[in-house]
Amino acid sequence: MLASASPRRQALLGLLGLAWRVAPAAIDEARYLLDDPVVSALNVALAKARAIEASANEVVVAADTIVALDGTALGKPGDPAEAHQMLRALRGRGHDVLTGVALLAGGPDGQVWGGVVSTRVLMRDYGDEEIAAYVTRGEPFDKAGGYAVQDAQFAPVSGFDGCYLNVVGLPVCAVVAGLRALGVPEGIGGDEARRTPPCGYCELGAPLVAIG
């Protein structure tokens, strides 16, 4: 069960080849943010997972993505002014994208698995007019840091080191690790899921979330 209304996360979860359904978590994410961006990402993901009631044969999958710039967490911009501010701050600089992933097994045991995936991202030196056009399109407002790595029109990222799907918002490799730890039957992934990122999940998932 996916605790998210994000169409990107829904598309990526389909890579697992398992039956699943959507049950978006309605929480006030700000209540679970902490000083450390890494801990915050996992704390919010755990809160989302615990907000969902799952049956005994279900596993709740929840995720939260944070952009960390110089140790400061950037969430989703709330308005155009904040989107402009975030994108200007990120321009031409490196930052870390952190996604907390939490899995919670339904039933009386309620086993929990959690992890955080980090990807180092370098933004290109885009211009103010490009920021304005991107914000006008309405793209930044449901994305941590105000940008989508997969947006071919804006193309904000010049390079990255690590998991590509983590930057999109759901590192499928981490979900697979969690499912296996909770005893979900094998058959997830396979030869396509190589261990060194970007792995086979990144290659298979990139076309599913492409923009533009």
- CATH fold for domain 7-209: Maf protein (3.90.950)
Decide: 103 and 178 in contact? Cβ < 8 Å: yes
> Angle formed by the axes of helices 200-209 and 172-181, to 10°?
120
Confidence (pLDDT) at 45 = 95
Q: Each residue of 6-65: pLDDT tens digit?
A: 899 999 998 888 888 999 888 888 898 888 999 999 999 999 999 988 887 889 999 999
- Return the closest-CA partner of residue 28 out of 69, 75, 82: 75
Catalytic sites, residue numbers: 64
Q: Each residue of 99-127: pLDDT tens digit?
A: 999 999 987 778 999 999 999 999 999 99
List the domain boundaries for the chain.
7-209
